[in-house]
Structure 1
Amino acid sequence: MNRQQPSPMPSHRYRDIFAKVPVAPVDRTWPDRRITAAPLWVPVDLRDGNQALAEPMDPERKREFFELMVAIGYKEIEVGYPSASQTDFDFVRLLATSDLVPDDVTIVVFTPARPDLIARTVESVAGMKGDVVIHMYAATAPVWRDVVLRKSRDELASMIYAGSEEIQRLAGDSVRFQFSPEVYNLTEPDYVLKLADRLTKQWDAAPERPVILNLPATIEAATPNVYADQIEYMHQNLPRRDGVILSVHPHNDRGTGIACAELAVLAGAQRVEGCIFGNGERTGNVDIATLALNLHAQGVDPMIDFSDIDGIRAVVEHCTRMPIHPRHPYVGELVYTAFSGTHQDAIRKGFAVQDDGLWEVPYLPIDPADVGRGYEAVVRVNSQSGKGGIAHVLESVYGIKLSDEREFARHVQRRTDETGREATASELKALYEEVYGCSN
């Protein structure tokens, strides 16, 4: 038996996650729960996603992206960081002074806990119709407190309380309040609970005017079950819980941002912030399109319309100037495509018995038609393909039924091995006519 050898990488320089992630003392119930309804989705593409772009969106792209999000059904949208740039400020002012914002859409703007930046933020939303949320953040984890902010726990808490009071002084009842203890997942749970108690009391949190407590996994540092425990700890212990919307904002540094979000919802989160296809700093924010379509695949209405997913992708790619990977869940060019012979055979047989009832086609978790895709690209032929896939393409595209699928598959295999390329439907038809000396 071969034994694995130690790698040359300096793994000894890093600590086990439990040496740096505070343990949340929780009466764990989330593993037994199921997601039966969509959370409140809050796309942050125009703020957090925009900050992560090499070329931030200009006003025209921001407007196009905003109109897309409204059109497909988002009811709460974070639209910018108005104190960070004149472009962001001007875009928020455009929304405040135009008819672009429907009455049922809540606008969110983002600010650090600094008086001058808070004032600029409040100025940006003056006159905004409908519900407005001012989202204030401060980094709370020990490394950020000690290295970046150089403040003690008490000093940082005082800065946060002062920022909250300044928002209330300047905006009063015209806005709702959201607070994010940035890097929550690396912050002592008791510290955040104390902050939340003071802030929700100050804002008189109540079901009719709830405060949003957003708990980011800003730097994903542990397995998703740890984040779920941290969320459930807050869910179980928050004062004025019925007056608080518990929100999460996972990132994807470990590649498990989607899993973190799903487990967080099981653990009591009611609201999920992210970007439609996961754009964001480093490895990205959580992908809220994938999250929504995961629900759809389980029979739960995601409450967002992805029935034209290619149209949505086109707008996102245009606005962000970034391509979406061909293997990206649900939206990628190749995600409903099978090249492997065994997969193709199973899909073909599944289509043959599929009726209008429950969708049960092997290897296709959802019907591609649900998101506006056709079936012509579900089976494509290359050197890895089998007789069933080849027969499916000829029959579905040209109505040609092979009398001997195995024999013709050998001809196709020789051709694709020689060329090293995919064989298109028209090439398969031409080969069929060449082999059998007929046309159809």
Structure 2
Amino acid sequence: MKHVEKYARGYFMPPKTSLKWAQKEYITEAPIWCSVDLRDGNQALIVPMNLEEKLEYFKVLVDIGFKEIEVGFPAASETEFTFLRTLIEQNLIPDDVTIQVLTQSREHIIRKTFESLKGANKAVVHLYNSTSLAQREQVFRKSKEEIIDIAVTGAKLVKQIAAETEGNFQFEYSPESFTGTEIEFALDICNRVLDVWQPAAANPVIINLPATVSMSMPHVYASQIEYMSENLKYRENVILSVHPHNDRGTGVADAELGMLAGAQRVEGTLFGNGERTGNVDIVTLALNMYSHGVDPKLNFENLPEIVAAYEQATKMRVSERHPYGGELVFTAFSGSHQDAIAKGMKWREEEERQYWSVPYLLIDPKDIGRQYEGDIIRINSQSGKGGIGYILQQKYGLDLPPKMREHFGYCVKNVSDQQQKELQPDEIYDIFKQEYVNLKSPVEFVKYRFNDDEEFSTVVTIRTGGETKEITGNGNGRLDAISNALQTELGFDYTDLVYTEHALETGSKSQAVSYIGIKGADGAAYWGCGIDADIMVSSVRALFSAINKIISK
């Protein structure tokens, strides 16, 4: 591509890296989660949420299990201020939930922020100012010491006003644009703020290190986090937090490696809503942990309902391929994938298994409120016999013989290909019935009887060409006798009779289903299916259906 030379690496590596995080296999416990949907996420919407929508969304976040929720920037607008006051005055904040508010390091904004918090049981006051080289040079045109002074002055004011205000307050500081800040300077400014706030075990301080703009590969961000974690003052009384954005598409990886590197807390949003390419997606992060057998301490057991609530409030859409929440993320169209999934599901049904290990399915869809039927296997022209057979078995109780399943698979794929669309289960079932079940043309089965003195000697009544007639036959079994009568009457031979049957339903309305496959004189296989309350009648109907396929070819 042109102009590649204009792009330089805008991030800064630590002066030394230990890479201890790289030796860890996975995240072993959930972080402190802080939802910033109502602030970071809301400000990124084309039409921000109104008061009623924000109140409803707050309830959704509480129900999911968030214990820290950033509710806004109350000094920024009347809507933000009113929302916070409504939460407090109507007692809508559960006792175990801490609200968080954002403030710039400016006196009138800090004072307005504390005014909004009157009556709150517990709140995090989140102070920030931008520290990156680009912001210092281009926006503020200030030296490092002048930027430090902004942070320290704000920290002192926050501490002073908090002491004058009734309430229980915890402090948080973010060197905004941390990823574009020289690491030693970021460490210095954070430590200077910590010197003001003097964190203690009873009231730790949160130091939040945002990837305001994601600039590096995730391992670099992890190295930056690890350096800060190992060199911050008062570390035992500091909660180290990360707030990754997704500019490079690596927000989740940044957060995961950041946690391995020492981060104890994560700020993010549901489905990654946020400015530009968004914040880190907490749904994906949490369920990634879940897939490793680690409880994320958030409840996504009914993820489709959460998707619906999110889409209603934000007017945004969760992509069909979005991890975990997307409509198609557990769906297989590919024939080989469908076959493997169907066999894996059957393997689990055969006996209880301790661990989930179904091919192509990272977690059990049912654990997050998805259904096997219609979610896992869907049918189009790329589908195969395994998936089609799985749908017939799961939804309609039809357990086709393997060769018949293959034959029917081609029928379904041809229909999907010709119509250029996905086929729904009912459409697949209709194709099956039209193709195989109780076929009556050109030869219709009417009834049969067997001679009392000769067990396997039969008289079969058929209807063909508008004429009803009786035909006779003998064999080594009842079905064989009927088959021989038909071959004699119709004047053609077939071989390799394949027969299976099973109960279609249980209880008073139980029926039998039979499958028959025969090989015609042309060497091709022809299949029929019979369904009837009587097992023998269902077998005869299956035979007639197969023979009618030969005649109608």
TM > 0.5 fold call: yes
Question: What's 1:198 paired with?
Answer: 192
CA RMSD of aligned residues (A): 1.1
The alpha carbon displacement at 1:174 in A equals: 3.6
Pairs within 5 Å for 1:230-379: 230-354=224-348, 355-376=352-373, 377-379=375-377
TM-score (norm: length of structure 2): 0.76
Q: Which moved more, 1:26-35 or 1:134-143?
A: 26-35
Question: What's 2:142 paired with?
Answer: 151
For 1:364 and 1:65, how far apart are their aligned partners in 2?
30
The alpha carbon displacement at 1:121 in A equals: 0.6
For 1:242 and 1:282, how far apart are their aligned partners in 2?
35
Secondary structure class of the residue paired with 1:193: helix
Pairs within 5 Å for 1:57-76: 57-76=49-68
- Deviation track 1:141-184 (CA, whole Å, cap 9, x = no partner) reads 01101111121111111111111111111112741110010110
Question: What's 2:222 paired with?
Answer: 228
* Pairing partner for 2:47 from 55, 61, 67: 55
Tell me the amino acid that sits aligned with residue 385 of structure 1. Answer: S
Tell me the amino acid that sits aligned with residue 147 of structure 1. Answer: Q
Q: Which structure carries more relative contact order (alpha carbon 8 Å, separation 6+)?
A: 1
Secondary structure class of the residue paired with 1:277: helix
Secondary structure class of the residue paired with 1:261: helix
- Deviation track 1:293-343 (CA, whole Å, cap 9, x = no partner) reads 000000000000100101111111111111111111101111111000010
Question: What's 2:72 paired with?
Answer: 80
For 1:28 and 1:410, how far apart are their aligned partners in 2?
54
Structure 1 runs not aligned, ≥5 long = 1-6
Tell me the amino acid that sits aligned with residue 158 of structure 2. Answer: I
Question: What's 2:489 paired with?
Answer: none
For 1:315 and 1:69, how far apart are their aligned partners in 2?
10
Question: What's 2:481 paired with?
Answer: none
Aligned in 2, Cα 1:163/1:394: closer, same or farther, shift over 3 Å? same
TM-score (norm: length of structure 1): 0.96
Question: What's 2:388 paired with?
Answer: 390
The alpha carbon displacement at 1:412 in A equals: 1.2
Structure 2 runs not aligned, ≥5 long = 439-529, 532-553
Question: What's 1:162 paired with?
Answer: 153
The alpha carbon displacement at 1:346 in A equals: 0.5
For 2:387 and 2:124, how far apart are their aligned partners in 1?
53
For 1:328 and 1:371, how far apart are their aligned partners in 2?
14
Residue 175 of structure 2 contacts residue 190 of structure 2 at CA under 8 Å; is this kept in 1?
A: no
Question: What's 1:436 paired with?
Answer: 436
For 2:385 and 2:168, how far apart are their aligned partners in 1?
66
Question: What's 2:11 paired with?
Answer: 21
Secondary structure class of the residue paired with 2:319: coil
For 1:92 and 1:429, how far apart are their aligned partners in 2?
54
Residue 156 of structure 2 contacts residue 197 of structure 2 at CA under 8 Å; is this kept in 1?
A: no
Residue 242 of structure 2 contacts residue 265 of structure 2 at CA under 8 Å; is this kept in 1?
A: yes
Q: Which moved more, 1:250-259 or 1:355-364?
A: 355-364
Q: Which moved more, 1:338-347 or 1:395-404?
A: 395-404
Secondary structure class of the residue paired with 2:271: coil
For 2:135 and 2:92, how far apart are their aligned partners in 1?
38
Q: State percent identity of aligned pairs.
A: 48
Secondary structure class of the residue paired with 1:329: coil
For 2:106 and 2:206, how far apart are their aligned partners in 1?
19
4+ residue runs over 2 A deviation? 437-440
Count residues with an aligned counterpart. 429
Matched, 1:420 2:413: no
Question: What's 1:121 paired with?
Answer: 113
Q: Which moved more, 1:348-357 or 1:364-373?
A: 348-357
For 1:151 and 1:337, how far apart are their aligned partners in 2?
54
